[in-house]
Amino acid sequence: MGTRHRIEVVVNGRLRVCETAGRTSLADLLRDDLGLTGTHLGCEHGVCGCCTVLFDGEPVRSCIILAAQADGHQVTTIEGVGPPGGLSPVQEAFCQAHALQCGYCTPGMVLAVHALLAANPAPARDDIDDALGGNICRCTGYVQIREAVELAARHYCSLAESSDAGR
């Protein structure tokens, strides 16, 4: 057995202390050691995007990041994007816009959309296409996914407007 590394990583707001082998990917750490199986694995080569998680708020492909690299960082998985037991507005929008079928790509898509809307609350269609260009969906089609992003963006904008009006 190779060298194991002790890492401290905040996952979905909770500090986790793990022992991990040097070659373990972040995706395997999340799924196998922490039981967060909402992070899906497809290509395991950094191509399909279905393993996307947020790493210090930025979308990354967890299949090509080593778990050891997460030491001292914050990771958000699909289990951590919504309120406990509930869905985030992005997840709600995916349901409303029928933006998923098998759902295999959906966790990665949703996390990429959270990152997009955090950086750009009112994205143009090209911005959406750019942000999701590395996330592959085999079944739903990208039109509904784009509609879901626009729906979620409108939701966040209306929240911001009502909070401004309340001041």
State the minimum distance, in angstroms, from the CB of residue 47 to ligand FES.
5
Quick note: the x/- pattern for ligand FES over 85-114, rule CB under 6 A, is ---------------xxxxxxx--------
Among 43, 82, 150, 155, binds ligand FES (CB under 6 A): 43
Stretch that binds ligand FES, among 6-14, 39-47, 68-76, 123-131 (CB under 6 A): 39-47
| Cα–Cα distances in angstroms (integers) from residue 10 to residues 14, 66, 91, in the given order | 5, 15, 22
Residue written as tokens 């085999």?
A: 138
The nearer residue to ligand FES, 31 or 61, going by C-beta atoms, is 61
The nearer residue to ligand FES, 6 or 40, going by C-beta atoms, is 40
Q: Strand 14-21 vs strand 4-11: parallel, antiparallel, or unpaired?
A: antiparallel
Buried b (16+ CB within 10 A) or exposed e, 115-133: bbbeeeeebeeeebeebbe
Question: How many residues form the binding site for ligand FES (CB under 6 A)?
Answer: 23
Two tokens at 165?
């009006």
Cβ atoms of 129 and 71 closer than 8 Å: no
Asked if 50 is part of the footprint of ligand FES (rule: CB under 6 A), the reply reads yes
Among 37, 46, 96, 129, binds ligand FES (CB under 6 A): 46
Coil, helix or strand at residue 148? helix
Among 95, 119, 124, 139, binds ligand FES (CB under 6 A): 139
Cβ atoms of 22 and 1 closer than 8 Å: no
State the minimum distance, in angstroms, from the CB of residue 28 to ligand FES.
11
Residue written as tokens 């972040």?
A: 26
Summarize as ranges the residues that interact with ligand FES (CB under 6 A): 41-44, 46-51, 61, 63, 100-106, 137-140
